[in-house]
């Protein structure tokens, strides 16, 4: 016998509000591609500090086609990225927006975030298929915009906080680095964090590792360009089996939650540390409960976790899939399961949590 549920009364106003919210979401989704377009074509850089420009003037400055630039500017004005003066038909990039869109040294720099999002969306059909079967999708399988965008997004934050705030927040670590320490940077990607530490502490040596061959090749090239290749070595190795021992400091920047077996990797960290060594874990900002993360930052991180982090973990052995919003309690559980006896939150930013774990 079939039970027929009573009809649910629809609130027309609530429905309309949701539809218009959805339209806004479509505009934002397409807007990510337009931000990447503006970044790659140099449109934001040409607008920065230039005052009010017409579409033709901007096109001339950037060597682009005016008709495309006009539509791009109108979309940017509708999204609040640039300001439009209807009397003159000219467009202005506010100086505050220029910092976020053109200054790679600012911790507010955003183009990499958009580039990573666009790359994630490009790969989303593959994630749809993975979700049907529960299979994983490795970091190495993603398009270049994911790899490049990730590094461009995180690097300004590391530049702003790592040497001046995060490392000093760890017990006795800076003194060791100044005297000369051995450091392993695990999951180093393109090597930004490794090279930054190497430049700040010329008396120390650094071993960067990442399982992705392409990222390691980029890291080696950048170490040479930075003039630190004599003290920095990069190897293509997994987190649970990187080389070396007796490290005074082991670091993991925004990668522990991507690992298939974070506990196994943490045990390996403990085994490679010197007796008084320190493990620094940098993870995305997150609360321990879902409701703690229902905010703009949490929304972005949950989206990246769905498209990048969780598939990456599921593609590896164990496939624990902590997710990008794991939170402090779950990271503590990983450290304690691996035998670390001391664990604390050492620092944080709006985008990151920084933990110190010691044997």
Looking only at the bridges linking them, the beta strands covering 342-348 and 83-85 are unpaired
Note the Cα 26 to chain centre separation in Å: 23
Among the listed residues 226, 281, 229, the one whose alpha carbon sits nearest the alpha carbon of residue 250: 281
**For the whole model, what pTM was predicted?**
0.92
Structure tokens at 119: 């790359």
Q: Are 335 and 191 in a shared domain?
A: yes
Q: Are 210 and 171 in contact (CB under 8 A)?
A: no
Q: Considering the domain boundaries, does residue 7 fall inside one?
A: no
Q: Are 92 and 125 in a shared domain?
A: no
Q: Are 213 and 64 in a shared domain?
A: no
From first to last of its 359 residues, the chain has per-residue pLDDT tens of: 455 556 789 999 999 999 999 999 999 999 999 999 999 999 999 999 999 999 999 999 999 999 999 999 999 999 999 999 999 999 999 999 999 999 999 999 999 999 999 999 999 999 999 999 999 999 999 999 999 999 999 999 999 999 999 999 999 999 999 999 999 999 999 999 999 999 999 999 999 999 999 999 999 999 999 999 999 999 999 999 999 999 999 999 999 999 999 999 999 999 999 999 999 999 999 999 999 999 999 999 999 999 999 999 999 999 999 999 999 999 999 999 999 999 999 999 999 999 999 99
Q: Are 294 and 352 in a shared domain?
A: yes
Place of tokens 């500017």: 73
Q: Considering the domain boundaries, does residue 6 fall inside one?
A: no
Beta bridge partners of 347: 354
**Domains identified in the chain, total number:** 2
Beta bridge partners of 209: 186, 235
Q: Are 96 and 195 in a shared domain?
A: no
Last residue of a domain, one of 73, 101, 129: 101
Contacts 24+ apart (CB under 8 A), 210-214: 210/186, 210/234, 210/236, 210/237, 211/139, 211/140, 211/236, 211/237, 211/238, 211/239, 212/139, 212/140, 212/147, 212/236, 213/140, 214/140, 214/147
Q: Are 81 and 198 in a shared domain?
A: no
Q: Considering the domain boundaries, does residue 106 fall inside one?
A: no
Q: Considering the domain boundaries, does residue 5 fall inside one?
A: no
Q: Are 65 and 151 in a shared domain?
A: no
- CATH, residue 253: 3.40.50.150
Q: Are 119 and 62 in a shared domain?
A: no
Q: Considering the domain boundaries, does residue 110 fall inside one?
A: no
Q: Are 186 and 209 in a shared domain?
A: yes
**295-318 per-residue burial string, b: 16 or more CB within 10 A, e: under 16:** eeebebbbebbbbbbbbbbbbbee
Q: Are 216 and 329 in a shared domain?
A: yes
Query: DSSP secondary-structure letter at 65?
Result: -
Q: Which helix (H) or strand (E) holds 267?
A: helix 262-272
Interatomic CA distance for residues 27 and 76, integer angstroms: 10
Task: Strands of the chain (E only): list them.
Answer: 83-85, 90-92, 182-186, 205-210, 232-236, 247-253, 273-284, 342-348, 352-358
Residues composing the chain: 359
Among the listed residues 321, 312, 308, 199, the one whose alpha carbon sits nearest the alpha carbon of residue 263: 321
Beta bridge partners of 353: 283, 348
Q: Considering the domain boundaries, does residue 67 fall inside one?
A: yes
Residue 143: is it exposed, middle or buried by C-beta count within 10 angstroms (0-12/13-18/19+)?
A: middle
Last residue of a domain, one of 43, 77, 101: 101
**104-130 per-residue burial string, b: 16 or more CB within 10 A, e: under 16:** eebbebbbbbbbbbbbbbbbeebbeeb
Q: Considering the domain boundaries, does residue 307 fall inside one?
A: yes
Alpha-carbon Rg for the chain in angstroms: 23
- CATH, residue 31: 1.10.10.10
Q: Are 163 and 298 in a shared domain?
A: yes
Last residue of a domain, one of 101, 123, 152: 101
Q: Considering the domain boundaries, does residue 225 fall inside one?
A: yes
Q: Are 224 and 269 in a shared domain?
A: yes
Provide the domain limits for residue 210: 115-358
């Amino acid at each position: 016998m079939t039970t027929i549920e009573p009809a649910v009364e629809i609130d027309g106003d609530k429905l309309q509000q949701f539809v218009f919210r959805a339209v806004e979401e479509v505009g934002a989704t397409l807007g990510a591609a337009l931000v990447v377009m503006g970044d790659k074509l140099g449109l934001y850089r040409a607008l920065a500090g230039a005052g009010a420009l017409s579409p033709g003037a901007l096109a001339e400055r950037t060597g682009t086609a005016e008709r495309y630039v006009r539509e791009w500017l109108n979309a940017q004005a509708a999204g609040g990225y640039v300001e439009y003066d209807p009397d003159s038909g000219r467009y202005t990039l506010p100086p505050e927006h220029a910092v976020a869109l053109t200054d790679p040294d600012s911790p507010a720099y955003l183009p990499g975030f958009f580039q990573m999002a666009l790359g994630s969306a490009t790969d989303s059909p593959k994630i749809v298929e993975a979700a049907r079967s529960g299979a994983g999708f490795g970091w190495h399988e993603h398009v270049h915009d994911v790899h490049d965008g990730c590094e461009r997004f995180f690097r300004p934050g590391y530049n702003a906080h790592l040497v001046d705030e995060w490392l000093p927040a760890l017990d006795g670590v800076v003194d060791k680095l100044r005297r000369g320490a051995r450091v392993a940077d695990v999951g180093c990607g393109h090597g930004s964090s490794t090279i930054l530490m190497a430049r700040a502490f010329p008396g120390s040596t650094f071993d960067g590792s990442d399982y992705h061959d392409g990222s390691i090749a980029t890291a080696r090239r950048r170490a040479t360009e930075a003039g630190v290749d004599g003290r920095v070595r990069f190897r293509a190795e997994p987190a649970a089996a990187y080389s070396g021992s007796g490290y005074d400091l082991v670091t993991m920047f925004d990668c522990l939650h991507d690992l298939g077996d974070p506990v196994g990797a943490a045990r390996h960290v403990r085994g490679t540390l010197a007796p008084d060594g320190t493990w620094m874990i940098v993870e995305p900002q997150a609360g321990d409960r879902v409701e703690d993360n229902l905010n703009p930052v949490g929304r972005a991180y949950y989206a990246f976790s769905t498209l990048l982090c969780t598939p990456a973990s599921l593609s590896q052995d164990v496939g624990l899939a902590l997710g990008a919003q794991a939170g402090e309690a779950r990271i503590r559980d990983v450290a304690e399961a691996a035998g670390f006896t001391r664990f604390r939150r050492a620092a944080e930013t709006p985008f990151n949590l920084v933990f110190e774990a010691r044997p």
